[in-house]
């Protein structure tokens, strides 16, 4: 199949992996990269970051109590909760729903139509809380999102196994919290940090 000289492809992201230039070279087409070096803007000045330390077993009670107060003041706001695996996302969404929160789950093993339906209801405000994995960390624009909760902080895969040291995945964190505070709006990022004894 021949190349169409009129065909253009553009990639946009707040972050790219270090290997991205090699990926571009493999395309074997003329490419241009525009890189903005002002990393001060990546902090999102209209986004406020908070953290709360607790044990793993106390996380749910904290979030449930927090929501009861949050929605009094931000009744029109929507929330994304990020967790690190699909099975736990299902469990957490079920627990929140049982506590009376308008909650739904969005994961990669759902059908395309189901995902579209959930996102449409979320954007319309019919669903207030969306629990997901990193599936939602990029490419989602919804100005109603006023709060992002990292129920699980994003970590790099640990080559030393579960007992080895873990390192925060800064790029994924940036993309997750970037779902709020968009287009000049104010937003909140709440990070639930497990106590040292639970790590």
What per-residue confidence (pLDDT) applies to 5? 61
pLDDT in tens, 23-66: 666 766 677 666 666 554 555 678 899 999 999 899 999 999 99
Residue 2 φ then ψ, to 5°: -75, 160
Kindly state the percentage of the chain with pLDDT values over 70: 71
Q: How far is the C-alpha of 124 from the C-alpha of 111, rounded, in Å?
A: 20
What per-residue confidence (pLDDT) applies to 35? 66
Q: Kind of pairing, strands 145-150 and 103-106?
A: unpaired
What per-residue confidence (pLDDT) applies to 198? 43
Q: How far is the C-alpha of 153 from the C-alpha of 102, rounded, in Å?
A: 23
pLDDT in tens, 78-127: 999 999 999 999 999 999 999 999 999 998 889 999 999 999 999 998 99
Alpha-carbon dihedral of residues 148, 149, 150, 152, nearest 10 degrees? -150
Residue 183: pLDDT over 90: no
């Amino acid at each position: 199949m021949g190349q169409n000289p009129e065909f253009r492809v553009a990639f946009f992201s707040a972050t790219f992996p270090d290997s991205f230039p090699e990926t571009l070279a493999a395309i074997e087409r003329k490419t241009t990269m525009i890189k903005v070096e002002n990393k001060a803007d990546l902090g999102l000045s209209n986004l406020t970051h908070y953290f709360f330390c607790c044990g793993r077993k106390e996380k749910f009670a904290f979030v449930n109590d927090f929501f009861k107060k949050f929605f009094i003041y931000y009744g029109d706001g929507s929330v994304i909760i990020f967790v690190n695996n699909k099975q736990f996302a299902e469990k957490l969404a079920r627990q929140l729903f049982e506590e009376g929160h308008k909650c739904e789950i969005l994961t990669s093993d759902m059908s395309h139509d189901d995902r579209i339906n959930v996102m449409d209801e979320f954007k319309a405000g019919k669903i207030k809380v969306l629990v997901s994995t990193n599936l939602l960390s990029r490419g989602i624009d919804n100005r109603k999102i006023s709060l992002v909760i990292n129920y699980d902080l994003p970590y790099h895969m640990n080559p030393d196994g579960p007992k080895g040291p873990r390192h925060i995945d800064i790029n994924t964190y940036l993309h997750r919290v970037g779902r709020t505070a968009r287009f000049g709006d104010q937003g909140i990022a709440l990070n639930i940090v497990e106590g040292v004894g639970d790590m």
